[in-house]
Structure 1
Amino acid sequence: MSYFSRLTDIVTCNLTHLLNNAEDPVTEIEQIISEMKEGIAGANRSVKTASSNEQTIQQELSDYERQIFQWKEAAKNALALGDETEARNSLVRKQEVEDLKAGLEQQHQAAVATCEHLTTTLHALEARLAEARRKQLELTEQAGLSETSSQNPPHATDAESPMTLSRSEQIDSELAELKRELGQ
């Protein structure tokens, strides 16, 4: 049985409700966690792709900036040599590149927004997985299945994603700030 058809299903699911209706909650939470891990792996790939796309567009924008500068310099040089026709042609080319850049800037804004949205979704998925792992630990303790939990510890993390490490660093920073506020 598949619990989740979309990533948003993971974020919006009510674990308690799902598990209360299950015949074997311990087995069900293992299945749920497995599906969540698959969802997170997919979300990680999506974030990586979106970030790569955003960086590619940013590089293209930088290339256009260089071209704009070069065409402007070419126009100045042509004028300095008294060739107004060549200066005009250089400015026409500069304007063409500026138009291309303007269109690409809109694509860049969309790519940034997509990357931010996917990263936010990834963090929500990671939070939901952490909740499921806590629930798994609770269920295994209630069922007295310490052998199961020691073979497959619910808190054991898979290869941590760069996003997870980033979150860990954010938490460490926030913890240090709270300690400073409390004078510790």
Structure 2
Amino acid sequence: MGIFSRLGDIINSNLNAMLDRAEEPEKIVRLIIQEMEDTLVEVRSAAARAIAEKKELGRRIEQMEAAEADWQRKAELAIEKGREDLAKGALLAKAEAAQTIALMRKEMALVDESLAKTNEDLTRLDAKLAEAKAKQKSFDLRHSAARDQYRIRTQLHDGRIEDAMARYEKVERKLDRLEGEVEAFELGRRKSLAEEFAELEAESAINAELEALKAKMGRKG
């Protein structure tokens, strides 16, 4: 048995209240969407049948109107020929055709009224379906976010991560000590003759570039 028993139940439903009462709102909203989509198919099928019936009625009315006009013509012909008996028969047939047309027009009006109501119901049903799908999307997003948060929290509280970080820090300390030992070799060591000349040449080159720049800018000192 579905969530809803008829179209009116869907249209008049309060989805928020229904989901608030549900123990499994995600499951309920899926069932609601399925019920609405099934109902949409049924209502549209009924509307298609009503439209086909309206077209058939329209054709029958046109045929009866043609018959009514034909009986009118025959009645006039009978009068011209002095056959009042035939004229009366033609007028009687014309009256019967007119009566049939009136009945079919009433039936047409009922079909039009039914289609208008169906169109209104379909509009409201589409709105309800859109609301239900929005709820489902919201549930899916919340579920996905909760799952991601759970995975992150689990990893943050996983002892293996803390152990790995501790090992990483231990390796860093070893590297710091190794780099310190390398730098310690340089402490107190006199520069070689080649190193001193290299520094002197570098300093001369910088000074020469500075003087050239000052000359270019018209500043001497």
TM-score (normalizing by structure 2): 0.61
Structure 2 segments unaligned to the other structure (5+ residues): 146-221
Q: Which stretches of structure 1, 4 residues or longer, exceed 4 Å deviation after superposition?
A: none
Q: Which amino acid aligns with 1:76?
A: E
Corresponding position of 2:79: 79
- Cα distance in 2, alignment partners of residues 132 and 71 from structure 1: 59
Percent identity at matched positions? 26
Q: What SS does the aligned partner of 2:100 have?
A: helix
Corresponding position of 1:106: 106
Tell me how far 1:83 sits from its aligned partner.
Answer: 2.4
- Cα distance in 1, alignment partners of residues 111 and 16 from structure 2: 36
Tell me how far 1:67 sits from its aligned partner.
Answer: 0.5
Q: Residue deviations 1:5-45, cap 9 Å, x none?
A: 11111111111111122222222211110011111111111
Structure 1 segments unaligned to the other structure (5+ residues): 146-184
Corresponding position of 2:54: 54
Tell me how far 1:85 sits from its aligned partner.
Answer: 2.2
Note if 1:65 corresponds to 2:65: yes
Greater displacement, 19-28 / 93-102: 19-28
Alignment of 1:26-175 (within 5 A): 26-144=26-144
TM-score (normalizing by structure 1): 0.73
Q: What SS does the aligned partner of 2:4 have?
A: coil
In our comparison, the structure showing a higher alpha carbon Rg is 2
Q: Please tell me the root mean square deviation across aligned C-alpha atoms, in Å.
A: 1.8
Q: Which amino acid aligns with 2:7?
A: L
Q: Residue deviations 1:69-123, cap 9 Å, x none?
A: 1101111222233322222221111011111212222122111111211221122
Aligned length: 146
Q: What SS does the aligned partner of 1:144 have?
A: helix
Greater relative CO (CA pairs within 8 A, separation 6+): 1
